[in-house]
Amino acid sequence: MSTNIIDRLRAAVLALLLTVAFAAPALAGPFEDAVAKFANDDFSDTAAAVEAVAASGNPLALPIISALQEGRLVADPGSKKVFVKQADGKIIDAATGAAVDKLPDGVADVRLNNRLRRAVEAALGSLTLLSPDPARRIAAAQSVFKSHDANALPVVEEALAKETNRSAKAAFTEARAAILLFKPDVSEADKLDAIAVVKAKGDQEAMALLTSLGPDQPPLIKTAVAGAISSIQSDLAMWSMVQNAWYGISLGSVLLLAAIGLAITFGVMGVINMAHGEMVMIGAYTTFVVQEVIRTRYPGLFDVSLLIAVPLAFVVAGAIGVAIERGIIRFLYGRPLETLLATWGLSLVLQQAVRTAFGPTNREVGNPSWMSGAFELGQITITYNRLWILVFTLAVFGILLAMLRYTALGLEMRAVTQNRRMAASMGIATSRVDALTFGLGSGIAGIAGVALSQIDNVSPNLGQSYIIDSFMVVVFGGVGNLWGTLVGAFTLGIANKFLEPVAGAVLGKIAILVLIILFIQKRPRGLFALKGRAVEA
């Protein structure tokens, strides 16, 4: 009952305050005095004004200070009046909140310097600490953590006391610890607790906070800080390894996806298809067309656009693949160098055809909602699209392996590649199997294009950027062996990402190319080389 009365009282006081603030312009109080200081065009006056306004608890404080941060706060030096230009173009008097028709002549922006900008950020942080939106509270707590402004301590403690959201609570605890750590008159035990909290946070910011603490500390604190820093450092090093490994796996999955089709056409059939990249590109453009149709006709289906695009891309690219095999490649069996040249020419034609049909610029392919966004795992961020591509790649790989192993077509394919004449004698229509195998490889390249359209620019040159990498993967892994392709793709992906921080992106890539060239010298047939008679075939 009593709390109820207090609540009511508080509401009444608030209402009164609001009425005062909005309806009584003549009444000059500490808030109005503080606001008037903005008009002095003096940095230290502005700093005092920021502090006073932030501490006033006036509902106008937040709009004023955010206006100051965004350069929307103007002042008239003559009348000492201050105005807020709102984002929607309306103008209000900063001291009263009353709407103003137009700015008086002679107003000037309230200027900021770097010191003030920090003060403004800190003030904004403590102002939004009590916001009803948990995300904003967390953001505010994080900015307090960075500024560790002692003035914010009462607000932080108040917010912490009534916080119910778990992650907001953690953020407030960390913010409080940061403040205590820097506050002079705090007991050593409290400081040690604070260090423990910051250490548990364990990220770059915690590290920066601890290193900025300075050397002149009591010995106990000093050792605790040093211990926390080294523990965070080793943690961070570990996480950066994990991060690199994840990036490497992600790159490896992209490489694998681009190379699986090639592993079929080049690895199993021995056909050099330089137009393989263009099959990937055609898959990506199929996705684009599917999404265009969905956008204009059935907008509700957008989230399943990729599920529709995958089989379509497989069929489109596969059909083109069969046509290529029937029209060009079958005349060139046993002449690999000529095949290479003819398919290169074909890749030029396909690229130019797509450029003529869709234009030379990048086409927009959207991410469905279940593929956008990211989640945090410890200190690393994992985006959903990369994760889905990894899953998709492994699924495609598994299905392909199973297909080669358990279906009739897979059996025929293996028979034809192992011994064509024997297979023909057994009644297998070898030329039909050739066409289907090539179509399968191309179709897989097409569905790779669906996935790659989610992370890369869909342009006529999309395929070219993957062709050299894909060949490297297949050659490195060993021709004629799908597992080799898998291992090759992930090895190259991870090696690339671990070299990148050391050598830079381009030099890392060059180093990988040189390493592969040297590796081929050592093992001319790749990691998992075929042995026996198949080698000379």
Partner 1 sequence: MQHILTRSLDRAATTFILVVAGLGILISLSNILLPAGSFFQVPTYLVALFGKYVCYAILALSIDLIWGYCGILSLGHGAFFALGGYAMGMYLMRQIGSRGVYGNPILPDFMVFLNYPKLPWYWHGFDMFWFAALMVLLVPGLLAFCFGWLAFRSRVTGVYLSIITQAMTYALLLAFFRNDFGFGGNNGLTDFKDILGFNVQADGTRVALFLLSCFSLILAFLICRAVVTSKLGKLLIAIRDAESRTRFLGYRVESYKLFVFTLSACMAGVAGALYVPQVGIINPSEFAPGNSIEAVIWVAVGGRGTLTGAALGAVVVNYAKTYFTSGPLAPYWLFMLGALFILVTLLLPKGIVGTFNAWWEPWKAQRISDADESAAREDGIEPKPNPAE
Read off the tokens for 354.
């797509």
472 binding partner 1? (CB under 8 A): yes
Task: Map residue 471 onto helix, strand or coil.
Answer: helix
16 binding partner 1? (CB under 8 A): no
Closer CB to partner 1, residue 244 or residue 347? Answer: 347
Q: How far is the C-alpha of 509 from the C-alpha of 255, rounded, in Å?
A: 14
What spatial distance separates the first Cα and last Cα of the chain, rounded to whole Å? 93
Closer CB to partner 1, residue 123 or residue 260? Answer: 260
Q: Which stretch binds partner 1 (CB under 8 A): 287-295, 310-318, 341-349, 388-396?
A: 341-349
Which residue in 509, 527, 529, 530 binds partner 1 (CB under 8 A)?
509
Around Cβ 169, how many Cβ atoms within 10 Å? Answer: 17
537 binding partner 1? (CB under 8 A): no
Which residue in 238, 391, 403, 468 binds partner 1 (CB under 8 A)?
468
Read off the tokens for 154.
């009462």
Nearest distance from C-beta of residue 259 to partner 1, angstroms: 13
Amino acid letter for position 241: M
The answer to whether 508 and 301 are in contact (CB under 8 A) is no
Nearest distance from C-beta of residue 250 to partner 1, angstroms: 21
Closer CB to partner 1, residue 196 or residue 353? Answer: 353
Q: How far is the C-alpha of 242 from the C-alpha of 57, rounded, in Å?
A: 45
DSSP 374: E
Read off the tokens for 53.
């306004």
Closer CB to partner 1, residue 399 or residue 513? Answer: 513
Closer CB to partner 1, residue 400 or residue 467? Answer: 467
Nearest distance from C-beta of residue 428 to partner 1, angstroms: 26
Closer CB to partner 1, residue 246 or residue 438? Answer: 438
Which residue in 77, 78, 218, 345 binds partner 1 (CB under 8 A)?
345
Read off the tokens for 224.
């605790």
Which residue in 71, 336, 373, 378 binds partner 1 (CB under 8 A)?
336
The answer to whether 50 and 126 are in contact (CB under 8 A) is no
Phi-psi region of 42 (alpha: psi -120 to 50; beta: other; left: phi over 0): beta
Which residue in 513, 534, 535, 537 binds partner 1 (CB under 8 A)?
513
Nearest distance from C-beta of residue 280 to partner 1, angstroms: 17
Which residue in 48, 192, 308, 340 binds partner 1 (CB under 8 A)?
340
342 binding partner 1? (CB under 8 A): yes
Residue-level length of the chain: 537
Q: Which stretch binds partner 1 (CB under 8 A): 280-288, 299-307, 441-449, 519-527?
A: 519-527
273 binding partner 1? (CB under 8 A): no
E strands of 144-229, at which residues?
none
Around Cβ 20, how many Cβ atoms within 10 Å? Answer: 14
Q: Which stretch binds partner 1 (CB under 8 A): 29-37, 78-86, 446-454, 470-478?
A: 470-478
251 binding partner 1? (CB under 8 A): no
351 binding partner 1? (CB under 8 A): yes
The answer to whether 199 and 230 are in contact (CB under 8 A) is no
237 binding partner 1? (CB under 8 A): no
Q: Which stretch binds partner 1 (CB under 8 A): 252-260, 291-299, 392-400, 507-515?
A: 507-515
Closer CB to partner 1, residue 457 or residue 461? Answer: 461
522 binding partner 1? (CB under 8 A): yes
The answer to whether 344 and 454 are in contact (CB under 8 A) is no
361 binding partner 1? (CB under 8 A): no
Read off the tokens for 262.
């090639």
The answer to whether 191 and 221 are in contact (CB under 8 A) is yes
HSE at residue 502, side-chain half, CA atoms within 13 A, is 12
Task: Map residue 218 onto helix, strand or coil.
Answer: coil
Q: Which residues, 6 or more positions from 346, have their beta carbon under 8 angstroms from its beta carbon?
A: 274, 275, 278, 324, 328
516 binding partner 1? (CB under 8 A): yes
Tokens 């402004």, residue?
149
Q: How far is the C-alpha of 254 from the C-alpha of 385, rounded, in Å?
A: 11
Tokens 């490649």, residue?
329
Nearest distance from C-beta of residue 471 to partner 1, angstroms: 5
Task: Pick out residues in 409-428 that bind partner 1 (CB under 8 A).
Answer: none
Read off the tokens for 207.
């590290």
403 binding partner 1? (CB under 8 A): no
Nearest distance from C-beta of residue 211 to partner 1, angstroms: 31
Read off the tokens for 100.
């103003």
Interface contacts to partner 1, rule CB under 8 A: 272, 328, 331-332, 336-342, 344-353, 356, 468, 471-472, 475, 506-507, 509-510, 513-514, 516-518, 520-522, 524
